[in-house]
Amino acid sequence: MEPKGDIAVIGLAVMGQNLILNMNDNGFTVVAFNRTVSKVNDFLDGEAKGTNIIGAQSVEEMVANLKRPRKVMLMVKAGEVVDKFIEMVLPHLEEGDVIIDGGNSHFPDTIRRTKMLEEKGMLYIGTGVSGGEEGARKGPSIMPGGSPKAWPLVKDIFQAISAKTDSGEPCCDWVGENGAGHYVKMTHNGIEYGDMQLICEAYQLMKEGLGLSTDEMHEVFTEWNKGELDSYLIEITRDILGYKTEEGEVVVEQILDTAGQKGTGKWTGISSLDLGVPVTLIGEAVFSRCLSALKDERVAASKVLKGPGTSFEGDKKVFVKDIEKALLASKLVSYAQGYMLLREAAKEHGWNLNYGGIALMWRGGCIIRSTFLGKIKEAFENNPDLHNLLLDDWFKGVIDDCQASWRKVVQEAIRLGIPVPAFTTALAFYDGYRNPRLPANLLQAQRDYFGAHTYERLDKPRGEYFHTNWTGRGGNTSASTYTV
Ligand code: 6PG
């Protein structure tokens, strides 16, 4: 009998199960497999009852049920587990078959795996899948990269199950070669970290600075979600602030203030340092999580270290509006930085990224989905060579409109002693980026003074290096001019 399976999915944790059910809803025949085989039976007797999903009891059975070229998708924990499953499946596949990794893998692993599989005549896809459990079930944002020849083989499945924009476009398209898909997903997560941190800073300002109650903040977020900030993260924050137990207790206020992290934000920060791109806001967002994790130290320090002892004295309603604007302006900077990173990574890895297309992929289904992403897409449509989003007319207009409020919020936070690292770094980046003369001339002089590291001059062509014998003792020998 001819095999019926369009695709196999290995890994029946909630993301895997939901993706399978989503594929089934869209008319594809999915073969489900899990290393602990009892989970396959549980799934078939439970969620998958009455569907066309085929359960496999072994890798052999899974493969035998697949149409050629076979497509096997791994929905397993990122890291070594992915390599283990590739090893397990590989002997059963043949040339032209595709392995797909749908976890949050680190992009260098995906680059390595693509190469390894292609050398064996197979195809590989490393794809970001964003949107959590609900997204996987109803339509995630899907960011596939890897072997270009694999894309036409999975395109129909992926675009069918993905989220759609309001105008019906799928939030899934080919990102680029080898690790490009996972790189874009990693950057998505970094931006997610930034958005979450900005929202948390707004919350702390309203709570500690203005003394607003959670009910009042619930109202504020309800309003914000109707404006430019309209997004999934603002929406869930609204709902979290409005969520109470049956006894009327506000759950968010019962949660320990210690953030966890699985690593994708950290990877974004590391990659930005490697590539020399100032992705400062995501960096601060990661460090803020680290600082939050030092709960015991902070509690001890709070008994010793004093703040300014000032309180807010202005109009609270006006200041809430200022915070909204500061949040929007900072968010714009964060996305501009994220796109700067993508541009540099594309150069480094030889990826031909479609920047507007990436915004479209993030427009629906994923955690950072928002109306604002439509503006990024428009910016790249208006100017495909746009070097920095901040230079786009819409971005520039919003920042002009928000700037006074943004500065006021940062000043007031500093005056009140409330930490707003993401708001602050966004503003510092903005002021640095728009400044034609930064104090790095002095820094170069210092480097040349103590280490003869040389400097370039304003009045000479770039690439010519000079050394000054600052002390009259060091001689005229300069250190080599390499840069890391
Ligand atoms: C998504 C999320 C998803 C996940 C992150 C959370 O796009 O659906 O980003 O990938 O929720 O792993 O990351 P942290 O645990 O690091 O916050």
Query: Read out DSSP for 139-171?
Result: --EEEEEE-GGGHHHHHHHHHHHS-B-TTS-BS
Place of tokens 């459990």: 133
Rounded to an integer, the average pLDDT of 319-343 is 98
State the Cα–Cα distance between residues 465 and 478, nearest whole angstrom. 9
Q: What is the pLDDT of residues 36-56, one digit of tens each?
A: 999 999 999 999 999 999 999
Of 152, 145, 157, residue with least CA distance to 101: 145
Q: SS3 sequence, 273-302?
A: HHHCCCCHHHHHHHHHHHHHHCHHHHHHHH
Atom 11 of ligand 1 has which residue's CA nearest to it? 132
Q: Residue 404: enclosing H or E segment and its boundaries? A: helix 393-416
| Closest-lying ligand 1 atom to the alpha carbon of residue 366 | 7
Band (pLDDT 50/70/90 cuts) for residue 197 is very high
Q: Give the distance (Å) from ligand 1 centre to CA of residue 102.
A: 13
Q: Give the distance (Å) from ligand 1 centre to CA of residue 189.
A: 6
- Tell me what pLDDT residue 484 has: 57
Q: What is the pLDDT of residues 227-280, one digit of tens each?
A: 999 999 999 999 999 999 999 999 999 999 999 999 999 999 999 999 999 999
- Tell me what pLDDT residue 355 has: 97
- Tell me what pLDDT residue 473 has: 85
- Check if 142 has its Cβ closer than 6 Å to any atom of ligand 1: no
Residue 113 CB coordination number (10 Å): 22
Q: Where are the alpha helices (DSSP H) in 350-361?
A: 355-361
Of 130, 191, 129, residue with least CA distance to 154: 129
- The β-bridge partners of 73 are 9, 100
State the Cα–Cα distance between residues 122 and 114, nearest whole angstrom. 9
Mean pLDDT computed over every residue of the chain:
97
Sign of CA dihedral 40, 42, 45, 48: negative
- Check if 108 has its Cβ closer than 6 Å to any atom of ligand 1: no
- Tell me what pLDDT residue 1 has: 79
| Closest-lying ligand 1 atom to the alpha carbon of residue 259 | 17
Tokens of 372: 């604002």
Q: Give the distance (Å) from ligand 1 centre to CA of residue 236.
A: 15
Atom 4 of ligand 1 has which residue's CA nearest to it? 132
Choose which residue among 75, 188, 191, 192 to substitute to test ligand 1 binding: the one with the highest number of ligand atoms within 8 A of its C-beta.
Answer: 192
Q: Give the distance (Å) from ligand 1 centre to CA of residue 188.
A: 9
State the Cα–Cα distance between residues 353 and 347, nearest whole angstrom. 9
Q: Give the distance (Å) from ligand 1 centre to CA of residue 457.
A: 46
Q: What is the pLDDT of residues 356-403, one digit of tens each?
A: 999 999 999 999 999 999 999 999 999 999 999 999 999 999 999 999
- Tell me what pLDDT residue 398 has: 98
Atom 1 of ligand 1 has which residue's CA nearest to it? 130
Place of tokens 């997004």: 231
Tokens of 157: 């499945």
- Tell me what pLDDT residue 480 has: 63
Choose which residue among 77, 104, 261 to substitute to test ligand 1 binding: the one with the highest number of ligand atoms within 8 A of its C-beta.
Answer: 104
Q: Number of helices (H) and strands (E), helices first, in the chain?
A: 19, 8
Q: Where are the beta strands (DSSP E) in 246-308?
A: none
State the Cα–Cα distance between residues 374 and 371, nearest whole angstrom. 6
Band (pLDDT 50/70/90 cuts) for residue 478 is confident
The percent of residues above 70 in pLDDT, for the chain, comes to 98
Q: What is the pTM of this model?
A: 0.96
Q: Which residues are known catalytic residues? A: 185, 192
State the Cα–Cα distance between residues 65 and 54, nearest whole angstrom. 8
Evaluate if residue 482 carries a pLDDT over 60.
no
Evaluate if residue 113 carries a pLDDT over 60.
yes
Contacts of 236 (CB under 8 A, 6+ apart): none
DSSP code, position 477: P
Of 344, 360, 356, 306, residue with least CA distance to 142: 360
